[in-house]
Amino acid sequence: MKLYLVRHGNAVSPRGSLTEGDNDIVRPLSREGIDEVKRVAEFLKKNGTQVNTVYHSVRLRAKQTAEIIHDRLKVKKLLIERSGLSPDDPVKGTADFVEQQKDDVMLVGHMPFMGRLVSLLVTGEADRNVVAFPTGGVAILEKKRDQSWLIAGMIDPEIL
């Protein structure tokens, strides 16, 4: 099984107290963010990436990122909003959810959550920093036969 963990694309700069409270939920992708996510989506498509479901956080920039990738990959099933993928959410519940999946899946969320999830799955400790995660970046994890996870690849939109 492969797990594609996507950090949302670059978002517009916050204005005033936009990043405080629920207002951060509506911050959209910037033009640069849209372009970087399109590059990543095209790269994934050219490399035969297939997932049944794309889950995204409740924040607009993650939803927009997920929609772009979902459309480019022509995902046959669902695009689903999922709580628990926001920046400071605990990662244990999502890690448990991922462990139950049988098919390849994609999650679109935020830092530091995505980095902590990678760390927890790969090392068993969420607070170990094992991956650099640029905006629009993708960490590809693969579950081995012994049920452990390894980082199978990283995609950085800056090099595409």
Domains and CATH numbers, the chain: 2-159 (3.40.50.1240)
Q: Which residues of the chain have pLDDT under 70?
A: 15-23
Q: Are 56 and 85 in contact (CB under 8 A)?
A: yes
Which pLDDT belongs to residue 15?
A: 67
Which pLDDT belongs to residue 13?
A: 86
Separation between Cα atoms, residue 43 and residue 127, nearest integer Å = 30
Which pLDDT belongs to residue 20?
A: 52
Which pLDDT belongs to residue 14?
A: 78
Determine how many CB atoms are found less than 10 A away from the CB of residue 72.
17
Separation between Cα atoms, residue 45 and residue 50, nearest integer Å = 8
Q: Are 4 and 108 in contact (CB under 8 A)?
A: no
Which pLDDT belongs to residue 24?
A: 82
Tell me if the pTM is above 0.85. Answer: yes
Which pLDDT belongs to residue 17?
A: 46
